[in-house]
Each structure stands twice: as structure tokens, then as C-alpha cells.
Structure 1
Amino acid sequence: MTSGPQARRVTIADVAREAQTSIASVSYALNDRPGVSPATRERVLEVAARLGWSPASAARTLAGTGAETIGLALAKDPRDLSVEPFYMQFIAGVEATLASRSMGLLLQITPDAEAGGEAIRRWRMSRRVDGVLLTDLVPDDPRIPVVSAGGIPAVVVGDPSVAAGLTTVWTNDAEATRQAVEHLADLGHRRVTRVAAPGRYAYTAIRDLAFERAARAAGLDHDIVRTDLSPDSGAAATRTVLSSPRPPTGLLFDNDVMAVAALTTAHQLGLSVPGDVSVIAWDDSLLCRAVTPGLTALGHDVAALGAHAARRLLDVIDGAGPSTHPDATPELRVRASTGRAPAEA
């Protein structure tokens, strides 16, 4: 592939000229300092975002280099990260891409998206990162205005509908969910339950809606149970629904660790998988292949997803405008944990 000449870095002077104000006013607005009217501040921020100005660009202009680091603020419980393979694979993919540019990754674990936004704000003020990856978005995510107002290059790993115009790398969770429900329906299951992530995540709503639509289209009785994605909550949800008067015969979990916990729980209840209940996991990690029976899973290359997101962020840092980039749709990988619905169902 041939590459053209490198685009000129956007400077504060460019923003001032386009916004028809002084360089001092632009500096005040971009650094969230008093001295400009709200209307001027809003106009400057809009122009800066449109032109692609960022603190990283400014730093390179002044010093000839950037921080050579990107940031990832994960709003997760550290205990969950120790058992959930997804983010370790995702980070491995990010690191592999950054290594090709001799760049590093600044990782911070935060209790929620609000704290993640504060972490990103601190990084911006100290110019510790050239850009950030945003994951697990929530409705009206507080990180979005931080990166938009600060002119921080950012890529959202999530559906474009929640990215507020930022560059996105996304997987078609709705299509993958439909595949899973139709698989259970084709096996004769008439009662299915989705054991889902917390409702605060934007991707949860997308999967919820797809699950309900697919179940209704197939004429299935269906339900959604909320969890915190931990093995304990997955086991508790499994025990509750399988002990009900009319238990589901098909279970779809929002991650792999809950699905693995469900196998043990079903066994403790004297039930067979898949003889009495079929189980599908989201994210086809090594766990899904290491247990007996092997777990049917919605799988995709998570390390490749991380690498893809990092490449797109490097493009944004280099001056690319906002764009959306679909990643591979998770595919249903059928193993022994799904089978024909029991005759009495």
C-alpha cells in the first residue's frame, strides 16, 4: 500500500483562525480556564474537534514527539479481571500493535465510567497519553465529553450508536445473539433465558433487544436475568432459574466464566448438560474448550479485536477523521453443551 505525505499537524493557530478568535482565547477554552464566554468556548471546542486538534498534536508540534503511549481506563472490578480472559486477550492484541510503533499502554482500573473520565482528564492535563481506547460504554457515558472537549484522539470499542460521533470498532452483537437463539430454537427448545450483564452497559441493551426479538420471532418463552458477570452471580442465576416451576431448557450467558459456573451448578442440581439444559457462552475462550462438556460459544478473535482497535486509534492520532469499522461478527461454535430439548419440554 502506498502512503502519501504525512498530514500537517493542526495547531492552536489553525483553531483560532477557523474559530475567528485569538490564540489566547483558544488556549483558555481548550484548557478549560476562565477568560472566554460560554459561546466562544463552545465554538472553539467544536472547531478543535472538527479540525482534529489534540494535546498530543500540540506536544508533537512543540517538542517533536508525543507521549508515545495510549491510555485504557477499565471500569471493572480487579477481581473479575483475574478470572475473565476477555480483557487479557484484548490487551495482548493492543500491545502487539503498539509494539510495532514502539509505543506503550497506560492501563488504569477504575470503579466506574465517571472515575474513568477523571483518569482521562488527568492524562490530558499532564499529556501522558496520545490517545485513549473507550470500552464498556454506558448511556450518556461521562468519558465521551472529556475526550471531545479535550480534543483527545479516541476510539470507542462498541456500537456506533453510542459513540457520539467518535471513531468506533464494533462487533455485530445483535446478529450473534440472533444466531444463538435460533440455534436453540432449531434444537426444539421452547423456554430460554438470557443470563445477562448489568443493564448499565450499552452493549447489554443491544443484546437484550436482539434476544427478545429473536425469541419472539421463534415463538419462544423467554426471560432475562441480570448478573454482575462474576462466576458466583452466574452460578446463583443458574440455580434460581433451573429451580423454578417451569425452568428454561436453554441458557445463553453474557460471558464464558458464568457459563462454566453453570455447568457445575446444573450438576449439583442433578441435571444433565445438554440432556436437561443446553448452555451457550459468550466469548469462546480456552475455558470453553477445557471443560466437559465443551461449551457452545459465540466466539471471535478477541486479540485481533484489540489489535484492530489500536490500529484505528493510531490512525486517529495521525490525523484521520471519525469513522466506523466493523470487526468480525462473533460466530456460533457448536460443541457438546447444546443438544435437543428434553422430550418433556
Structure 2
Amino acid sequence: MRVPRWQNWWRRVSIDGVNRPTIRDIAKAAGISPGAASFALNDRDGVSEETRAKVKRIADEMGWTRNVAAVALSARQARAVGLVIARSEESFTGERFFMQFIAGVERILSARSRNLVLRFATSVEEEVDTYRQWWAEHRVDGVILTDPRDDDPRPTLLADLQLPGVVVGAQSQSTLPTLRVNDGAAMERLVDHFADLGHRRLAHVSGSPDLLHTQRRREAFEKRCEERGVVALPPSSTDFSEESGRAATWALISSQEPPTGIIFDNEVLVFGGVVAIVEASLSIPDQVAIATFEDTPMCRIVRPQITAMVRDPAELGRHAAEALLDAIDGRPVSGRTEPTMELIVRGSTDPEA
């Protein structure tokens, strides 16, 4: 009888002294993600019965046993949820989205006598270490993940820790419940708006290129520009700070073939862009039109007022908190797609608005 390759591998690992299999080991042997393996072992929806049976069989053959300490801890709730924001302080304090999002989360948690544990991190690695610390200290019962990215280590870690979580952001392949935001559709609306006004050279000032929402917006930007016969200038990535928005805008408007329109990923970047445009003594929107993905009162106070995509971050926060509390309480949680943002046209793109 042929011995499965994973069994030989597991015997070698055991010989080296690592004799307690983890969910990650089982997932590797089964050829699936750790999150899917966790779903199968915990009899949760999201995997087929065939996969569930296969995973449980491999777990039995490996001698896997449930982490009794983890189960005991999970039965004693901390009555708190965690949120780590891996952004610079400058970006966070100026960005309305997170302030409103946290307010929405807090509204649901307060109504259910739960607390929010908030932490800032300078990197994904620091964010991951924070989750490990919270789990070890039993500080939180679950976490909300924002800014999904390429090769995101966080869902796998939560599966290993058996710590409930929800993902908020661009569509991803995560096994965790996801509140999906259709960034592509919003970008298409913006490009159509500029194209309808006669623009033929557009630029996109974005955040970090490893973030999925940046990628989805960029993909939609280039595709829609091609469909509308508009030149899409090369990406201008930033760290979401006002200064990086100013620098990216200055580079664009001082080039030999500058854009006639610029789309910014948030209000912090767009105000940095306004500074650069004013410094260059250019007129908005006659010489360069601008729009942003995030609306704020400041967008309506400045002159000309700034065209923006509008959504309700507080509502998104409420939905995230409700989904996470359901997951913590063991209720089935399915992902949902949030409504597409609404375009509000103002004077920064259309002088007649």
C-alpha cells in the first residue's frame, strides 16, 4: 500500500521532536488553506463535506487533538474586540474614514456591553505580533481586519489561534467573513465623469500598492481609461500622508505631459494635491481637475468645492461589529457586499456644479 507523501513528511517532523500537529500542518497535508482546515475541524460552513471528511481523516491520522487550553480560554470571554490600524499617525488623524468607522464599531459594541481595544502599528508584522499578544493574554474575543493585502498573513494566523475575525475592504479570497467594498465600480464612475467632461489624460494618486483596494482601483482605472479612450498615466503611489500627496501631485503637474485630471485615494492626499497645485499657480478645474474617493466637510468648505465619492464609514463599522459579534457567539456569518459609493460632483471638476 502506497503511503501518502504527507505521512512521510509528518514522520520526519516528529522525529525532529515536533510531535504536536497544528491546523497549519493539517492544511498543508490536505492541500488547502489553514482557514479552510479550521472550518472543517470546527464543523463550520464554508467547506464541502468531502473536504471536511478528508481534513478530519488526516487530523486523526496525524494524532491531532484540540487545544484544550485554547478551548478553555474561548469559553471565558474577554467581552472586548480588537482593531489594529497599520497606518502612520499623520495619515490616521487626518483621514475621516477610520474615525467614522471606529464610531460605528463603538455604537454596536456599547449597545452590547463590549469594549474596543484599539492599537496602532507601523507594519503588518507588528500588527500580527499584536494579535498573538492579545490571544496569549486573552485580551479580546475577536478582531476586525482592515486593509486586506497581497499574501496577507493575518487570516491564517487567526485560523491557527482559533480567534474569530472579519475582514473589511476590497474583495479577497479570505476564508473569514468579509464585508466587501466594490472599489472598482466606484473608480469606473470617477473615470466616466472625467471622460464625459472631455478629459483625455488622467492620473491616479493612490496609497500603498500592496493593498488590495489600491490594486482594485488601479485595475479599474486603467481598464476604464482604455475603454473611454483616455490616457492613464503611470501609478503614483504614496503612504497616505498629505506630504506624499503634495509630492506626487507636484511630480505630475510639472511633467512634460501633465494630466488634465487627477483622482486621489482619500481626502488627505487630495489636500496635499491642492497645496501643490496652488504652489504651481494652476487653476482648479480649468488647468487641472481633481476628485477624491473620500468626502469630508473640508471638501465642501474649500473653493472650489471638491468632487468626491461618498459613503458612510460609520455604517460599515456597524456592519463589521455585528458580523464579528455573531462569529464570536458561534452564529453563522456570511459575507456581504456594501453599496457602491455615490459620486457627488462639485466645482473641482465641473465649474457649473
Quick one: which of 200, 204, 208 aligns to 2:214? 204
Match of 1:86 in 2: 97
Is 1:150 matched with 2:174? Answer: no
Alpha-carbon separation, structure 1, partners of 2:332 and 2:284: 49
Q: What do residues 230-268 of structure 1 show as CA deviations (whole Å, max 9, x unaligned)?
A: 111111111111111111111000111111222232122
Match of 1:172 in 2: 182
Q: What do residues 38-93 of structure 1 show as CA deviations (whole Å, max 9, x unaligned)?
A: 689527845445448998874463x5xx1110001111112221222221111111
Q: Which one-letter code corresponds to 2:205 in the other structure?
A: V
Match of 1:273 in 2: 284
Q: 1:165 and 1:37, CA in 2 relative to 1: closer, same or farther beyond 3 A?
A: closer
Bigger mean CA deviation after superposition, 176-185 or 297-306: 297-306
Alpha-carbon separation, structure 1, partners of 2:178 and 2:290: 31
**8 A Cα contact 2:323 2:333, kept in partner:** no
The alignment partner of 2:82 has SS state of: strand
Shift of 1:322: 4.8
Is 1:160 matched with 2:144? Answer: no
Quick one: which of 234, 253, 260 aligns to 1:242? 253
Is 1:222 matched with 2:232? Answer: yes
The alignment partner of 1:298 has SS state of: strand
Match of 1:259 in 2: 270
Shift of 1:205: 0.8
Is 1:140 matched with 2:151? Answer: yes
The alignment partner of 1:76 has SS state of: coil
Identity of aligned residues (%): 37
Match of 2:26 in 1: 42
Is 1:98 matched with 2:101? Answer: no
Q: 1:41 and 1:334, CA in 2 relative to 1: closer, same or farther beyond 3 A?
A: same
Quick one: which of 313, 335, 340 aligns to 1:302? 313
The alignment partner of 1:120 has SS state of: helix
Q: What do residues 292-326 of structure 1 show as CA deviations (whole Å, max 9, x unaligned)?
A: 11110111011111111111111111213352111
Q: 1:60 and 1:246, CA in 2 relative to 1: closer, same or farther beyond 3 A?
A: closer
**8 A Cα contact 2:155 2:175, kept in partner:** no
Alpha-carbon separation, structure 2, partners of 1:321 and 1:244: 53
The alignment partner of 2:94 has SS state of: coil
Shift of 1:182: 0.3
Alpha-carbon separation, structure 2, partners of 1:93 and 1:305: 7
**8 A Cα contact 2:84 2:145, kept in partner:** yes
Is 1:313 matched with 2:324? Answer: yes
**8 A Cα contact 2:107 2:318, kept in partner:** yes
Unmatched tracts of structure 1, length 5 or more: 1-32, 341-345
The alignment partner of 2:120 has SS state of: strand
Q: What do residues 91-150 of structure 1 show as CA deviations (whole Å, max 9, x unaligned)?
A: 111101111101010111111112111111111122111110001122111211110111
Q: 1:277 and 1:321, CA in 2 relative to 1: closer, same or farther beyond 3 A?
A: same
Q: Which one-letter code corresponds to 1:36 in the other structure?
A: R
Q: Which one-letter code corresponds to 1:312 in the other structure?
A: A
Q: Which one-letter code corresponds to 1:172 in the other structure?
A: N
Bigger mean CA deviation after superposition, 214-223 or 135-144: 135-144
Alpha-carbon separation, structure 2, partners of 1:39 and 1:175: 37
The alignment partner of 2:130 has SS state of: helix
Q: Which one-letter code corresponds to 2:140 in the other structure?
A: V
RMSD: 2.4
**8 A Cα contact 1:294 1:336, kept in partner:** yes
The alignment partner of 1:252 has SS state of: strand
**8 A Cα contact 1:56 1:152, kept in partner:** no
**8 A Cα contact 1:284 1:299, kept in partner:** yes
Match of 2:51 in 1: none
Unmatched tracts of structure 2, length 5 or more: 1-16, 28-36, 46-65
Question: After the TM superposition, which segments of 4 or more aligned residues of structure 1 sit over 3 Å from their partners?
Answer: 37-41, 43-61
The alignment partner of 2:290 has SS state of: strand
Count of residues in correspondence between the two structures: 305
